[in-house]
Structure 1
């Protein structure tokens, strides 16, 4: 089976706008559901995957918007330099495999470097680990799930060279 074609136009990456938190939460749940998790599992994750309106700015939430205005994905960059956290990164299932995640990851790295971060940690869904490894992250351990007791997630780290470093 061939992967879906990349979107012909790159997404516009922009800060999340007021009023988008509920839509981002639903996108996160749809994206998580892409991996075949059942309704009970997803409901257990709902609180952890909820994007709150009053946190959009503080979490440095960036959305990937398609030319038709639809939001195809989003990510958050959390913490304070030098060590930060990729808190959330989700791509709408209809857009998975079309370069949206890569665009969000490249933007994340550029923003993090410019802000003075030298390292980002990622608590990855096991199904997304390969994506993050392809973006340059390395597995450094495991971490307990914040939603499912007894579940363990890959703990990844992405080291960043300072901006302008050759």
Structure 2
């Protein structure tokens, strides 16, 4: 694995995080509507615990957003070119540490269906299924990380 650092994202990372979301191979085909026009805005980054996994050249390889007030993992993405390098696992480990430090006992995840297996492999447990709503025309697995 390349030399990876996980650092707090800043508003200056907005364009790079947005590009990572919009170009994700996991959101092609039927799932494309989910990220069409999506933006990870600077205010969002500044307001929430958003962390990026970067290489030695500060290239963003992945990121996550933890919503402490809601005890929820809101966003988690790894660049297509960095899949399989263990970056997702590093981000989840970092996220659970952040959640614990914030006094959370569990973190909810409403997963993109193709990502459910990843969350299960990294310690989440399935708690249910959310029905389609709004622009999302498919059921989504609901999971939980116990972090206490």
TM above 0.5, yes or no, is yes
Paired position in structure 2 for 1:8: 2
Paired position in structure 1 for 2:91: 104
Q: TM-score, normalised by structure 2?
A: 0.90
The count of corresponding residues between Structure 1 and Structure 2 is 148
Paired position in structure 1 for 2:28: 37
Question: Aligned to 2:143, what secondary structure does the other structure show?
Answer: strand
Change (3 A) 1:30 1:86: same
Question: Is 2:17 the counterpart of 1:24?
Answer: yes
Question: Aligned to 1:35, what secondary structure does the other structure show?
Answer: helix
Change (3 A) 1:160 1:36: closer
Question: Is 2:44 the counterpart of 1:55?
Answer: yes
Residue ranges of structure 2 left out of the alignment (5+ in a row): none
Larger radius of gyration: 1
Q: TM-score, normalised by structure 1?
A: 0.81
- In 2, Cα distance between equivalents of 1:149 and 1:87: 15
Change (3 A) 1:44 1:116: closer
Tell me if the contact between 1:45 and 1:148 (Cα under 8 Å) persists in the aligned partners: no
By percentage of residues, which structure has more helix? 2
C-alpha deviation, 1:8, in angstroms? 3.2
Tell me if the contact between 1:45 and 1:147 (Cα under 8 Å) persists in the aligned partners: no
How large is the Cα RMSD of the aligned pairs? Answer: 1.9
Paired position in structure 2 for 1:3: none
